[in-house]
Amino acid sequence: MGYKQVGIAKNGKKKYKITIELGVDILGKRQRITRTFIGTLAEVKVKDAELTKKYYHKGETVSVKELTFEQYSKVFIKKHCEGNIGLVTINNYKRLLKNILPLLGNYKLSKITPAMLDNMYQKLRKGQKGKQLSYNSMYDYYKLINAMYNQALKWEFIDKNPNLKAHKPKKELVERKFYNLEQVNELISCLNNECIKYRALIRLALDSGARRGEISALRWSDLNFETRTLKIDNSLKVIKGVVDEKKAKTNSSNRVIFLSEETIGVMKEYKEWQDNYIKELGSKWKGTDRIFTAENGEHMNPSTCYKVFTKITKKYGLEHIRFHDLRHTSASLMISDGVNIKAVSERLGHASINITSDIYTHTFENDKLKCANVFDKIAKNI
């Protein structure tokens, strides 16, 4: 029986609750609908039969073989992503899926072939307004499809991952922008005319090579003035006004680095200024112990790093590079000065030396010339 009496209505008639079972969803979760009906027992039996007939077809458990890519995408986001990965990544997945679903959404997950995926990638690559997407953009699509199929394999929705036989985007050589030593000296000279907060922010970025999200997450407890060490194990992002702060995913991202005496001096000066500022602000200060903050002490949006640096480069007519390029600048200067590539890789928080080598190929080109010059010196002394 799909109904039961639950009370008496104001008109004196009996009130019934009718429950229609809809089977289970793709993950085995029980599905049902309920309706309230007021009338006689004979009338409720008729209504129950009508609703059962109306919804019975929905009571069939969804077959994995019939699951479309669009249906699976919802399961993937809900059951795999939410609660397991950061909001930034989830939002990026949803953004990518908006472009993928019109091309792939109606096809059955188990019937999608490598050729179909290649066709999709070709269409996505064309981009909008005829502007082709970059390697990074295409690789984001490839990684998402791969992650989705790998998870489908774990759930035993499919037997193989067709994306493994699709064309993987070829990495393009991207010219990294960075400052040379002369430009860095010019930047530091200009910073001497700026407020201590701007000086501290950019000097720390140059010295540490940390990412803007990592810098925004830093707390004073992460900085040890005596040992000149900085602990980096957090990253902060802001998505639609909501703070998404998370611990480093890998051991390589979780690191402790040494800072120069010059940078430590600037940070001490900045700490003294901030302490006085907090006293002046009094109850209006809403912060904790973050190193870089908004005016009221709350978290600083990582985009502020870019805004501050762009403001300074425009003000002094310096070559425009991104705030993130200060990270490239830091690494390039270290490598050019002969610092071991493994030490540079660990300082940057890269997962492997190969990543560092690939990114900073331009720096090693200079070393190739140095090799020839060394032999010149040897030959002249023979």
Model confidence pLDDT, tens digit, residues 122-181: 999 987 777 888 888 999 999 999 999 999 999 889 999 999 999 999 877 666 788 999
Query: Does residue 337 share a domain with residue 216?
Result: yes
Same domain, 111 and 189: no
For the chain, how big is the Rg over CA atoms in Å?
A: 30
- Domain span including residue 30: 3-62
342 plus 220 within the same structural domain: yes
Residue 107 shares a structural domain with residue 239: no
Question: Which residues, listed in sequence order, are joined to residue 376 by a DSSP beta bridge?
Answer: none
The CATH number that applies at residue 150 is 1.10.150.130
Q: Determine, yes or no, domain membership for 170.
A: no
Please, what is the average pLDDT of the chain?
85
* pLDDT at position 359: 65
Task: Tell which residue, 178, 210, 204, has the closest CA to residue 191.
Answer: 204
CA distances from residue 345 to 1, 54, 88 in whole angstroms, order as listed: 67, 63, 25
Query: pLDDT-derived band of residue 62, with 50, 70 and 90 as boundaries?
Result: low
pLDDT greater than 90 at residue 98: yes
Q: Does the pLDDT of residue 348 top 60, yes or no?
A: yes
- pLDDT the model gives residue 89: 86
> Which of 132, 165, 198 finishes a domain?
165
Sorted by sequence, the CB contacts under 8 Å of residue 176 that are 6+ apart come out as: 325, 328, 332, 359, 360, 362
Name the band, by pLDDT with cuts 50, 70 and 90, for residue 59: very low
CATH number at residue 279: 1.10.443.10
Q: Tell me what pLDDT residue 31 has.
A: 72
- pLDDT by residue (tens digit) across 224-259? 999 999 999 988 888 777 777 777 555 557 889 999
The alpha carbon of 248 is separated from its chain's Cα centroid by a whole number of angstroms, namely: 12
What is the reported pLDDT for 338?
Answer: 83
Same domain, 209 and 269: yes
Give the Cα separation of 161 and 158 in Å (integer). 8
pLDDT value, residue 243: 75
